[in-house]
Chain A
């Protein structure tokens, strides 16, 4: 992707074209924010119109988006292959459940324990503990290169599932335990307390969580985007491209690897909490290797290194099986479990597997790379006219949106 990053070409070109293109581009400059605002408004009013199923799917997607953005910082931006994401999700989810859950529970054998602190405390503790787990793993991670790290992190998932299965008082053991409802300063995100109607539509758990999901996913997105545009973000990308070059430039390789592990696992922790809230219970099987692999699928499909791509990938991978399930009777080949056809989850799996292969083979930039290419093609006719500079290095899109180039950079590496 060195051609898109040829900054000098862009720099020399800008002055002569500035006068001409400013007028032409000004409408385009407004279009993007306007579209974003419109999309946000649409998301905000959606609970008034759509069914509960879509809202619940939306919250699950929001949780996955947070997790995928976190994994992408690690794998896509910094180039550290990790299959341990499910483990960090589990740390977040279990910590939340333990800190905010009630003692006793329904357990007939061993009693469950919980600290019964306010859920927001549980959420913060969940995020922090997941971050701590990441930090503890980072000395191992920092010593291992590339693929060794990938397989070592695989071990973490199995150890995590083992702990979930055996540490019954905290995790609920094999059968898992239910996750306490979220609430914020006395406002519950459950079905009532207080009863809430907006324009005659009852706002129950699904509606409330929907807004929580939007806020958290948006915050996660903005944080990651800004991080990538900042000095540490650049350092991480250099780290991916060449550790030697990075250390020569004064990047402390070990420290940065530890930090990116910290941030990534904190994202995972938050995502784990959201997962617990969306499902309503946690069990060991929810945090197995499959989950790690699905998260990897999200960021590969979305485009390694691109924050927006990770979000899109997360939406696709999370929503697809749910949608398949919902419309099992309408879709060809797909059927409800035990009815001969291909079960919804299975059908979705085939698609993910196929999509991963096709993406790596033909469009290593994923959805983000595809979108970029499309955008560049769309922009070309307009830019060709300003003469001198309209050469092969069509750099304008990357110059206006610096959060995207890593998408391509990582893929070609």
Chain B
């Protein structure tokens, strides 16, 4: 039972990080109809920037600059490429983000090399025990920060003029444009927000239980894809649920490895994808996604 609770708590904390990434993914999709395959390398960029700057600048400024850099990179991708392709087919948009991803990822991997960079989190790698259940401090803080960010996001999404504008253009782009909503601006801001969320997620993703910033962080970030798809690509709440679900699945599959040994070692890493495929079989638009209606 203790093991179960411990895995559950760790799964939720991991899921909170995934939810941050998936949330960015979803708002990009809502605002600009782009499925951003660049997201994994944006996240890696954030982690890399923070790790490299932490030494000369100190931790907090490094985080600030790293987050801003990632947001800027996302902004540039939107302005320079996505914005020029408004109205292009979804597949072309996805492919162009793959192009960006190839370049960014190749450069980052070349910079990182075979090393594992360390982010000197002030909270270090200690873990705390809550009633017999152990969790690393990093993950605990991650849960708190993710919770705050997610609540802030949902409040902004609901009440701020940007949130209203964005929901309007996601609902009906043409009508929103006719009402004077500048879609380019909405989309650019969505990318910036997604960049910020990705960088914050990166900060925690490479902390405590994980060794540090290496190319492997990219693969971890990719697991936010099933999270976003699982919840439904156009549902922000779905991203949250999907993230948690994926996090818990992964932690459970890794924790009960012995019992699942017939599935092979390291099954935890692919469990999210298995869950995603199973869910999609039952609900092709994810758990909370809008069902696609076809009108003739």
Known contacts A296-B95, A356-B96, A357-B99: A148-B106 contact under CB 8 Å: no
Q: Is A114 an interface residue (CB 8 A)?
A: no
**Chain B proximity mask over A133-161: 1 for CB below 8 Å, otherwise 0:** 00000011001111110111011101100
Give B182 Cβ to nearest chain A Cβ, in Å: 22
A172 to B211 CA separation, bound complex (whole angstroms)? 28
B85's contact among A79, A143, A360, by CB below 8 Å, is which?
A360
Closest residue of chain B to A292, judged by CB? Answer: B98
A356 to B81 CA separation, bound complex (whole angstroms)? 12
Known contacts A151-B229, A154-B222: A140-B277 contact under CB 8 Å: yes
Closest residue of chain B to A152, judged by CB? Answer: B280
Q: Is A346 an interface residue (CB 8 A)?
A: yes
A156 to B277 CA separation, bound complex (whole angstroms)? 9
B106 touches A147 (CB 8 A): no
**Chain A proximity mask over B22-61: 1 for CB below 8 Å, otherwise 0:** 0000000000000100000000000000000000000000
A350's contact among B103, B294, B296, by CB below 8 Å, is which?
B103
A159 to B267 CA separation, bound complex (whole angstroms)? 9
A147 to B281 CA separation, bound complex (whole angstroms)? 15
Known contacts A144-B284, A151-B229, A244-B294: A293-B98 contact under CB 8 Å: yes
A63 to B157 CA separation, bound complex (whole angstroms)? 49
B281 touches A293 (CB 8 A): no
A155 touches B96 (CB 8 A): no
Known contacts A81-B94, A151-B35, A360-B85: A162-B229 contact under CB 8 Å: no
CB under 8 Å from chain B, chain A span 151-207: 151-152, 154-156, 158-159, 162-163, 165-167
With a CB–CB cut-off of 8 A, which chain B residues contact A364? Answer: 88, 92
Known contacts A147-B233, A165-B266, A357-B100: A155-B106 contact under CB 8 Å: no
Q: Is B5 an interface residue (CB 8 A)?
A: no
Q: Is A384 an interface residue (CB 8 A)?
A: no
Give B203 Cβ to nearest chain A Cβ, in Å: 24
CB under 8 Å from chain A, chain B span 61-85: 81, 84-85
Closest residue of chain B to A155, judged by CB? Answer: B273
CB under 8 Å from chain A, chain B span 82-134: 84-85, 88-92, 94-96, 98-103, 106-107, 110
B280's contact among A143, A158, A166, A167, by CB below 8 Å, is which?
A143
With a CB–CB cut-off of 8 A, which chain B residues contact A140? Answer: 277, 280-281
B274 touches A159 (CB 8 A): yes
B277 touches A145 (CB 8 A): no
Closest residue of chain B to A348, judged by CB? Answer: B106
With a CB–CB cut-off of 8 A, which chain A residues contact B284? Answer: 143-145, 148
A361 touches B85 (CB 8 A): yes
**Chain B proximity mask over A229-245: 1 for CB below 8 Å, otherwise 0:** 00000000000000110
Give B106 Cβ to nearest chain A Cβ, in Å: 4
CB under 8 Å from chain A, chain B span 234-269: 263-267, 269
A159 to B88 CA separation, bound complex (whole angstroms)? 31
B91 touches A155 (CB 8 A): no
Q: Is B208 an interface residue (CB 8 A)?
A: no
Q: Is A352 an interface residue (CB 8 A)?
A: yes
B91 touches A145 (CB 8 A): no
B106 touches A346 (CB 8 A): yes
Give A281 Cβ to nearest chain B Cβ, in Å: 21
Give A151 Cβ to nearest chain B Cβ, in Å: 5
Q: Is A354 an interface residue (CB 8 A)?
A: yes
CB under 8 Å from chain B, chain A span 359-386: 360-361, 364
Q: Is B172 an interface residue (CB 8 A)?
A: no
Q: Is A109 an interface residue (CB 8 A)?
A: no
A148 touches B229 (CB 8 A): yes
Q: Is B151 an interface residue (CB 8 A)?
A: no
A156 to B83 CA separation, bound complex (whole angstroms)? 31
13 contacts across the A-B interface (CB closer than 8 A): A144-B284, A146-B91, A148-B286, A151-B35, A155-B272, A158-B269, A158-B270, A158-B273, A162-B266, A350-B103, A354-B99, A355-B99, A364-B88
B residues adjacent to A (C-beta < 8 A):
35, 81, 84-85, 88-92, 94-96, 98-103, 106-107, 110, 222, 225-226, 228-229, 233, 263-267, 269-270, 272-274, 276-277, 280-281, 284-286, 292, 294, 296
Chain A to chain B: the 4 pairs with minimum beta-carbon distance, closest first: A166-B264, A356-B99, A155-B273, A353-B102
